[in-house]
């Protein structure tokens, strides 16, 4: 399987390194590589720490709901906010949720012993869907 190829069809959620549905984000500048950042709901805050001496992040886009706030961020991040961005983010969350539910409904085909396995789900702030 080639790098970047997904076994799970994520629709509009594909390509995000992070898709946030609540709580906002304030993260390290090098935390996101090779993927967009999305704040999908209104009322969130996007801020990213780091500066010229520590900025290891590759150029990326941050798709931010128009009802959310944008704080400090590295110059390599392009902020995109519009009503069409809101619609795209809403569809991405729907696609990710639908695929998560489909995967969670599958019957396991192999027992892996004592490994800690997380079921496919959207995880955020201690809750899962």
Q: What is the pLDDT along the chain (129 residues), one digit of tens a residue?
A: 344 455 678 889 888 888 888 876 766 555 556 678 888 999 988 887 655 444 555 667 889 999 998 887 767 778 899 999 999 999 999 999 998 888 888 887 776 666 655 555 555 555 544
Is the residue at 90 inside a domain? yes
Is the residue at 5 inside a domain? no
Q: What is the structure's pLDDT at 30?
A: 55
Q: What is the structure's pLDDT at 124?
A: 53
Helix (H) or strand (E) holding 96: helix 83-104
CB 103, CB 117: distance < 8 Å:
no
CB 62, CB 39: distance < 8 Å:
yes
What is the extent of the structural domain holding 64?
A: 11-128
Q: What is the structure's pLDDT at 105?
A: 86
Q: What is the structure's pLDDT at 6?
A: 57
Is the residue at 40 inside a domain? yes
Give which of 20, 3, 11, 35 is closest to 99, Cα–Cα.
11
Is the residue at 108 inside a domain? yes
Is the residue at 4 inside a domain? no
Q: What is the structure's pLDDT at 53?
A: 46
| Total number of domains constituting the chain | 1
Is the residue at 20 inside a domain? yes
Is the residue at 6 inside a domain? no
Is the residue at 114 inside a domain? yes
């Amino acid at each position: 399987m080639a790098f970047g190829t997904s076994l799970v069809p994520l629709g509009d959620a594909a390509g995000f390194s992070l898709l946030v549905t609540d709580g906002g984000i304030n993260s390290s500048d090098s935390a996101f590589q090779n993927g967009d950042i999305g704040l999908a709901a209104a009322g969130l805050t996007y801020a990213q720490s780091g500066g010229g001496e520590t900025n290891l992040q590759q150029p990326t886009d941050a798709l931010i709901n128009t009802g959310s706030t944008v704080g400090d961020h590295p110059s390599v991040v392009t902020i995109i906010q519009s009503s069409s961005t809101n619609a795209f983010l809403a569809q991405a969350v729907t696609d990710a949720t639908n695929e998560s539910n489909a995967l969670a409904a599958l019957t396991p085909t192999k027992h892996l012993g004592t490994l800690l396995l997380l079921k496919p789900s959207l995880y955020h702030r201690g809750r899962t869907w």
